Amino acid sequence: MPIVRKAELCDVPAIHELVHHYAAERVMLARPLQEIYEDVWEFTVAEENGQVLGCGAIKLYSAELAEIRSLCVLPGLPGRGVGTALLQSLLDEAEGLHLKTAFALTLVPGFFAKLGFREVARETLPMKVWRDCLQCEKYFSCDEKTLVLDLASRSLSPTESRHEVAQVSA
């Protein structure tokens, strides 16, 4: 049964390999190895028997706003709930930091919509646009959708506890 936990330095090569795989397919932005080492504290991983099955990061923009990014699982694993468990963990972390809003730029908006995210115009997030998007090679031809979640309105179903969400059934 996979465990979802904060990333450690020893996880960085596996995180980089995952992100690089999806960046090569042009469905995710690349993250240099050095950047992942520097920002390892932003990452959460799903791990089983010592193997990293997936990862995701939370990038802080202000005391109220964070981005969920670099969320991916090993090829062949979609449908096992690993991505959902990672996203739930990252959202729990955002709530623990008392953030008001989480957002994601993604090519799979339906995945985020299932957890309460709603689509908005990217320009509603000026901090993201000015900080990251303007330097992105895809800026003028971006095909990603921008989704946001009001963390105050987020709730788990009555049968789920935060602890249960952190573990994924195989």
User: What's the number of domains the chain is made of?
Assistant: 1
In a domain, 164, yes or no: no
In a domain, 42, yes or no: yes
Is pLDDT of 79 > 80?
no
Report d(CA 123, CA 144) in Å as an integer.
13
- Matching residue, tokens 């957890």: 115
In a domain, 167, yes or no: no
In a domain, 60, yes or no: yes
More confident: 35 or 29:
35
Question: What residues make up the domain containing 93?
Answer: 3-159
Q: What is the pLDDT of residues 84-139, one digit of tens each?
A: 999 999 999 999 999 999 999 888 899 999 989 999 988 788 666 555 655 666 65
CATH code assigned at 122: 3.40.630.30
Give the CA angle between residues 20, 90, 72 to the nearest 5°: 25
Task: List b or e across 112-127, with b for residues whose CB sees 16 or more CB atoms inside 10 angstroms.
Answer: beeebbeeeeeeebee
Phi and psi dihedrals of 133, rounded to 5? -60, -40
pTM of this structure: 0.83
Q: What is the pLDDT of residues 129-166, one digit of tens each?
A: 555 655 666 655 666 889 999 998 775 433 343 433 33
